[in-house]
Structure 1
Amino acid sequence: MQVARGLEMLEIRANLMGETSVIHPALIWDEDTAVLVDAGFPGQLPQFREAMEAAGVPVENLGKVVLTHQDIDHIGCLPDLLKASTQKVEVLSSELEKPYIQGEKPLIKLEKAMAGSNDLPQELHAGLKRVFENPPKAPVDKTVADGEELPFCGGITVIHTPGHTPGHICLYHQQSKTLIAGDALAVVDGQLVGPVPQYTLDMDVAIQSLKKLMQYDIEAVICYHGGLYRGHVNRRIAELANG
């Protein structure tokens, strides 16, 4: 779905334990580079190829990947995407998330899930163990800091929004006034909601992080889970941040 000129919200379908879900990476591009924000689950390269081709930006043209955080549904297809591009792809993340993405530390939520997996069905436990023992990983070429402006695609501001994970970031696409929220926000039944408690490491910190978003003039939000939200965005975020 085209959100603005040079900004596409991808719709990537995933089958998890027999249920179909949709994730929404963002694709931003200009005449110089193409930037993918978040990289889906392992094994989703064909879906990314199809979605990016439909947007007019073949995966071979990918120049940068920005990761909002370390979770498996955000970094899973990263190694395959890097191999698929015909050029060097620069990977960016926050400093706090870097060692997890590079495989130097175990993914926090995967480690927690593994610790409590003994009661899971055998097939699910085995699958979780395989991913835990061989998680997707790739070098992070550049770390980004809170408030940093990335000088491409009309300007993209990095916003450190910890809570969901320690180094979670959101991105503000200045040209279109669009917030790429990662998992800091979600859309449920057409409504913008705050971070989902069962997947958030520290809810208090995550809610406090929403207050940082209020300083930006936001016309649209792309949520990784739930998709696009428009209409009185700043007012809605203020409601969520202030309870």
Structure 2
Amino acid sequence: MVKVSQVSENIIKIHMKIGITISAWVVKHENGSIIIDTGIRPMAPRILKEAARFGRVQMILLTHGHPDHVGGLAYIQEKVNAPVYIHGLEVPYITGEKPYPNRKKPTDYTKGFSVKQLPGDSRGVFHSMMGIDPYFTPGHSPGHTAYYHKKDDVLITGDMITSKNGRIGPPMKQFTANMDRAMRSTKTIQKVAPGKLSICHGEDLQYSQHLYSAFVNEYQSKV
């Protein structure tokens, strides 16, 4: 069953449990709505329904191209045809040019729809997009990206971390390309120091330095 939770004033989380929790997000904007990740195909109609409450979909942002994050992309694009943004390192994987690390076969999840690289400058610093700041957080996948909603002070972490029993955990090992690099990327959490962490696989957490320090102490050899 697909469920909906209010993350903050302008952010809704759409989630479904199939052994693990899979999540996507809809962000309210003055010009319409923004979708962040598209979950799996059964979630797509509900994502569209929630997005429609806020008006036209202005863009779709992807944390990365794993199937539980882009499984609903083709269905949603058939309905809204909004620009889709993902880190440039993810493009050959999401378009099926090559398989993800540790995967045998490539898969084209775009189904003919174009994807754009997240805009940035020559130093690799991303541009803010409609009040959302992308942060490059590689490791779980080569171009994994987290998104910070400045107004609501929420960091949408994608698969950079997991959570359980009110604690931060590492990304799921079996689906992570480079765990050492993924763990180093968690320093972004401390850098941004958001009010809230919204996590794909797990419950959302109120951020505190104590919360992050407990995570570092538990996994200090990796961070």
**Shorter-chain TM band:** 0.7 to 0.9
Whether the aligned pair in 2 keeps the contact of 1:187 and 1:228 (CA below 8 Å) is yes
Residue 29 of structure 2 corresponds to 30
Residue 81 of structure 1 corresponds to 76
Once structures 1 and 2 are overlaid, which stretch shifts more, 42-51 or 71-80? Answer: 42-51
Which residue of 53, 63, 88 maps to 2:58? Answer: 63
Once structures 1 and 2 are overlaid, which stretch shifts more, 43-52 or 75-84? Answer: 43-52
Residue 205 of structure 1 corresponds to 181
Compared with structure 1, are the counterparts of its residues 51 and 192 closer, same or farther at alpha carbon in structure 2 (3 Å cutoff)? farther
Residue 150 of structure 1 corresponds to 128
Q: CA RMSD in A?
A: 2.3
* Count of matched residue pairs: 209
Q: Distance in 2 between matches of 1:235 and 1:106?
A: 38
Residue 128 of structure 1 corresponds to none
Q: Distance in 2 between matches of 1:42 and 1:144?
A: 27
Query: Does 2:138 align with 1:162?
Result: yes
Compared with structure 1, are the counterparts of its residues 231 and 107 closer, same or farther at alpha carbon in structure 2 (3 Å cutoff)? closer
Q: TM-score, normalised by structure 2?
A: 0.82
Which residue of 8, 11, 18 maps to 1:7? Answer: 11
Which residue of 98, 105, 117 maps to 1:105? Answer: 98
SS in 2 for 1:24: strand
Q: Distance in 2 between matches of 1:241 and 1:147?
A: 26
Q: Distance in 2 between matches of 1:227 and 1:237?
A: 15
Q: Offset of 1:67 from its aligned partner?
A: 0.7
Per-residue CA deviations over 1:170-222 (Å, capped at 9, x if unaligned) read: 11111111110000011123322122222211111111111133111311011
Q: Distance in 1 between matches of 2:83 and 2:199?
A: 23
Compared with structure 1, are the counterparts of its residues 193 and 224 closer, same or farther at alpha carbon in structure 2 (3 Å cutoff)? same
Instruction: Letter of the 1:31 partner, please give it.
Output: E
Q: Offset of 1:161 from its aligned partner?
A: 0.8
Compared with structure 1, are the counterparts of its residues 183 and 84 closer, same or farther at alpha carbon in structure 2 (3 Å cutoff)? same
Q: Offset of 1:2 from its aligned partner?
A: 1.7
Residue 118 of structure 1 corresponds to none
Structure 1: segments with no counterpart, 5+ residues: 115-131
Whether the aligned pair in 2 keeps the contact of 1:97 and 1:168 (CA below 8 Å) is yes
Per-residue CA deviations over 1:36-79 (Å, capped at 9, x if unaligned) read: 111112343234345546xx346xx2221111111111111101
Q: Distance in 2 between matches of 1:48 and 1:7?
A: 12
SS in 1 for 2:192: coil
Residue 211 of structure 2 corresponds to 236
SS in 1 for 2:155: strand
